[in-house]
Amino acid sequence: MAQQTINTISPNELLAYALRLKNANYRLVAISSSNVENGIEMSYSFDSGNDFVNLRIIARPGDEIESISSIYSYSFLYENEIKELFGVNITGISPDYKDKLYRISVKTPFNAKEGDNNG
Amino acid sequence: MGKETVIPFGPQHPVLPEPIHLDLVLEDETVVEAIPSIGYIHRGLEKLVEKKDYQQYTYVAERICGICSFMHGMGYCMSIESIMGVQVPERAEFLRTIWAELSRIHSHMLWLGLLADALGFESLFMHSWRLREQILDIFEETTGGRVIFSVCDIGGVRRDIDSETLKKITSILDGFEKEYSEITKVFLNDSSVILRTQGLGVLSKQAAFELGAVGPMARASGIDIDMRKSGYAAYGKLKIEPILETAGDCYARTSVRIREVFQSIDLIRQCIAMIPEGEIKVKVSGNPNGEYFTRLEQPRGEVLYYVKANGTKFLDRVRVRTPTFANIPALLETLKGCQLADVPVLILTIDPCISCTER
């Protein structure tokens, strides 16, 4: 099985890292999110051959996370999803469906666990 | 330039067994843009991880989809096993592989029937689904279920298949293969099928890579991507080469799936010939602590499970990136420039599974 590495970086380093991976012919596999104590943890997964790399950032409340759709065009779907389900403020998504990708009645339903005060 | 109009496609449409909506922007009859809306049946199953413990969640994972339910359960179990360092018995790995490949045959046969139906070829649709019943009968005999099996468990599998039944499966597959060969000739050689699929919805190799396509969608464009080659379950011990086409059109996607059914039959035969005797499950105790990304090859392509555990019986996060979700950008691109009348068949050839997407 492929080796898995997780590189924790700051949000403002994201585009530079993504560009480096794109230039090295890495494929964007997925973008995943989960709630952590100080915000939303986002993992950008890439692969090339047997190499499986994850870039990890923490989106703190109020943070603007720049979209990587200018580098990986198909990231727009993951980013629209995370924006709608987790409420992460991702800017510059192309195309940005402006919270209309999902037909859900609850706003940002995955933001914070049930029972948490900030959810 | 013709008049621009927007036509809603779905959420209910005869070719779609499940709801997805596309706003098709047309110039005359030509699609210039497609804007998707999903979430009509979003179930929030990932969120349910907060209420079901990690053992119970195996049953939830299986219910993400009714077509690849076994592989959803398997992917989830593999993630937990990786976090906990559980070594699954070899026999269980082979049994998982047999059920996974039977699931692939069942899924592709279902899709072939839907394609025939979309083309208005009703007898072909019925033959495809009649043959599929033989696979469902194997599921029922070996697991007790035809859709949800509940045989995959953390640490192995819950049921064994005895040698007599394995022989019987081989015999059923021999007969299946013979009949299947006959209907594939119609799919691949019939002039009306060719007219409706060749040259339609072309996705070049470069575009497939640039848009992150996976599974038969990517392989039909010549991209050598198949997670089974990574060797999970028993695949590392089997001879397997991805089925590739280069045309990247609807016909190529059909051809890849047709050939993959033969490949799955071959893989099952290899498994039955090599399956070792022994235990089918190891006892798992304690709670997982850590995180893991698991990828495996479902009928529609690569699926990713991300599981994050905190040492309690409740997980922090289960995230599933399904192949249909990954193929939506490529679908939107291939729709551009096609004629309105070709949209249903084109959408069908990505083999969309909205149930998976709306996990």
CATH number, residue A72: 3.30.460.80
B163 assigned to some structural domain: yes
For residue B247, the domain's CATH number is 1.10.645.10
Compare all CA atoms of chain B with the CA of A28 and give the residue at the minimum distance. B212
Give how many domains chain A has, as a whole number.
1
Q: Is B251 within a domain?
A: yes
- Which of B32, B305, B306, B328 is the mutation pick for testing A, counting most A CBs within 10 A? B306
> Mapped to the 3 state alphabet, what secondary structure does chain A carry?
CCEEEEEECCHHHHHHHHHHHHHCCCEEEEEEEEEECCEEEEEEEEEECCEEEEEEEEECCCCEEECCCCCCCCHHHHHHHHHHHHCCEEECCCCCCCCCCECCCCCCCCCCCCCCCCC
Q: Does A5 touch chain B (CB under 8 A)?
A: no
The answer to whether position B34 is within a domain reads no
Asked if residue A119 belongs to a domain, the reply is no
Q: Which residues of B touch A (CB under 8 A)?
A: 35-40, 42, 44, 46-47, 50, 209-212, 230-232, 292-293, 295, 302, 304, 306, 308, 316-317, 319, 321, 325-326, 328-330
Q: For residues B338 and B200, is the Cβ–Cβ distance under 8 A? A: yes
Please tell me the distance from the alpha carbon of residue A110 to that of residue B105, in angstroms, as a whole number: 35
Distance of residue B39 Cα from the nearest chain A Cα, in angstroms: 4
- Per-residue pLDDT tens digits of chain A, which is 119 residues long: 567 899 999 999 999 999 999 999 999 999 999 989 889 999 999 999 889 999 999 999 889 999 999 999 999 999 999 998 899 999 999 888 888 788 777 888 888 755 454 43
The answer to whether residue A105 is domain-embedded is no
Annotated binding site of B for Mg(2+): 46, 320
CB contact under 8 Å between B39 and A104, yes or no, is: yes
Residue B322 has a pLDDT of 92
The per-residue pLDDT for A50 is 86
Q: Note the ipTM here.
A: 0.89
Reference A114, options B42, B315, B50; nearest CA is: B50
Please give the residue range of the domain that contains residue B343. 40-357
Query: Residue A95: is the preceding peptide bond cis (ω within 30°)?
Result: yes
* pLDDT score at B100: 97
Record: contact A34-B209, CB cut-off 8 A: no
Q: Is A4 on the interface with B (CB under 8 A)?
A: yes
pTM for the predicted model, two decimal places: 0.92
Q: Is residue B17 part of a domain?
A: no
From the CA of B148, how many Å to the nearest CA of chain A? 27
pLDDT average per 10 residues of sequence, chain B (359 residues): 83 79 90 84 78 90 86 95 96 98 96 92 94 96 92 95 96 97 95 93 94 96 95 95 95 97 98 97 94 95 94 92 92 92 89 76
- Asked whether residue A101 is domain-assigned, the answer is no
Q: Domain tally for chain B?
A: 1
